[in-house]
Amino acid sequence: MQRIHLQVMREDASRAALALAELGIFHPEPTGRWEERLPEQPGARYREVYREAQGRFDKLWGLLGDAREDLPPDGPPREVPIEELVALNMKLGRWWHEVSALEEQTHRLEDERHAKLQLLASLERFGQLDIDLSRLQERRRFLDLHLGTVPLANLRRLRESLGLSQYLVQSFREVADLAHVVVVGPSAEERDEVRGLLAAAGFVATPIPKEFRDRPETVHKELDARLATITDELKAVEGQIKAFAQVHRDELLQAWRALTWAAPLAFLSPTLRGMGGLALIHGWMPKDRVREADQALHRYLKNPYVLESRDPQPEERWEVPSALRHRFILRPFATLVKNYGIPRYGEVDPTLLFAVTFIAMFGMMFGDIGHGLTIALGGWLLRGKLKSFTPFVMAAGVASTLFGWMYGSIFGFEEIVEPLWISPLSDPMLMLMVALYWGIGFIVVATMLTIRNRLVERRWGEALFDGKGLAGLALYLGGLESARAATLGRFGMGEALAMAIPLLVILTYGWNRSSSRGGEKLLVVGIEGFETVMGFIANTLSFLRVAAFSLNHVALAVAVFTLAEMMGSTGHWVTVVLGNLFILVLEGGIVAIQVLRLEYYEGFSRFFQGDGKEFKPLVLGR
């Protein structure tokens, strides 16, 4: 990657942006070093107009409907002057004002239709009342009237109680365990007592919408008529919008092309500085593409220009973007890597290592031919929804299938297929040892990558003497050898020195680097050394879960078959199917999470900072 300084005449800035965008190899990035010398921002006004025009166009873009899928060829890119962009923005503003009025009318009609449909639903409750509903809404001087629902279980008791006060309770509709009732009686001093009885019976008042000013049948006809009118009005407005889209289709497509060609300069403008007739563009570009960019600029620009490129300086390494390119099969793994962070420029891209180790560990922990084939088949059948994650799911299924052959397991049955290696439960200690050795290898590789990354970044001290550097690797390997010798009863001076010397180097380096003083410094360095030792131990033991889950997978299958044996013939197979479904969904998800945790916290956290910048080149349309 190289730092690019491109000096052009201001009138050529738009053509330079088009040339760089067409190549798709230039990552624009502002620099504060030129702000005082070149205080002007030639593209600021252009960017402002572009953003407003693009916003208006995005609102109109949906009017094209299927036409968006069949766009004619763009033709060669051309410069879009600021005057043309301003005129286009004004035209889009007029169009949007016209269309927004139609859309506002559509929203108003839709809201009214929704309200009328709700009124129709409410009217069903009063359908069996043959009375002008407006009369039930009025307060009367000599009549106390209530409309609402009461539980059917309380209806008889309510009638008897209110009958003593000369009130009539008339049920006109029963739904489920509720009765819709009208309660009517003389307006007298007993009104408060009556309300107390209604509350005790679980009476809930039913409000009558103010729109109901006639008999239910008449109100229903009025609502139906208005709904029909609304439908006709909506069709008319929709026809107007379609007619607008048809009339202005070609102009909208021309606007789309113009905005596509204007986008490079608009997105380049934050990095564009200038003074007088000069404009300066800053950014990054792959070293092997600089010559190609020079040739393209030579073709596009009318006036002389100066293109300078250089390697990044040490203090700029944190600013350099990382150009990550992956084949289709690695893209889902790259997405998971980006979820943790972006590699710094010069750091090892962990995507390939992540893909291989993730799939391998998933297969080890979830080895079963039937489950693996189910996952792979599911990934293929759901490829439309999974999209770029299809290879990820299918690779996990294939790995599970391969380890299933090694374990001799198919949907938990271990009598059908002869294992190519062993059944996990037949030798748990061997499984644990394999997982332990896998973890050791994983940590050694991760530590070596850490050393390599620090050397590239010229962090010599950390690369050689830190707990995650060469001294840390020596301490880890010395500790492993000491542990092996101790189990064989051969621990001696050589093993002790293999641990003591690297640890002393780490502590000395930490002591010299620490800014603390006196006893605090001793405490801090001691804790850091202890943390280094315990970190290696904990990280190594974490990989025992690879064996633990492979054993757990078999144990769950045994549990399912044990339950199935307690059932009849039908219940037996139902239990087997449901049990395998449970293992496939629940345990499969847990295993995937555990593998991801091992990758992130035992691998990435050792050698991968994740605070880099992604290379985002300037392209046409963005």
Tokens in use for 508? 């000395």
Strands 168-175, 613-614: pairing is unpaired
Phi and psi angles of residue 118, each rounded to the nearest 5 degrees, phi first: -65, -40
Q: What is the DSSP letter of 40?
A: B
Beta-bridge partner residues of 183: 146, 169
Position 67 scores a pLDDT of 47
Tokens in use for 494? 């050589």
- Predicted TM-score (pTM) of this structure: 0.72
* Closest to 310 in 3D by CA, of 296, 281, 290: 290
Alpha-carbon Rg for the chain in angstroms: 38
Point out the residues of the chain with pLDDT beneath 50: 66-70, 73
Position 195 scores a pLDDT of 82
Phi and psi angles of residue 395, each rounded to the nearest 5 degrees, phi first: -65, -40
Count the Cβ atoms, other than its own, within 10 Å of residue 82: 15
Check residue 80 and give left, alpha or beta (phi > 0: left; psi -120 to 50: alpha): beta
Tokens in use for 102? 């139609």
Burial (0-12, 13-18, 19+ Cβ within 10 Å), 284: buried
- 8 A C-beta contact, residue 287 and residue 310: no
SS3 content of the chain, % helix, strand, coil (to 5): 65, 10, 25
Cα distances from 387 to residues 82, 340, 461, in angstroms, run 40, 21, 45
Helix (H, G, I), strand (E, B) or coil at 402: helix
- 8 A C-beta contact, residue 466 and residue 509: yes
Helix (H, G, I), strand (E, B) or coil at 273: strand
Q: What is the DSSP letter of 587?
A: I
In order of their start, the domains of the chain are: 1-40+276-321 (3.30.70.120), 42-124+217-266 (1.20.1460), 127-207 (3.30.70.2750), 331-609 (no CATH)
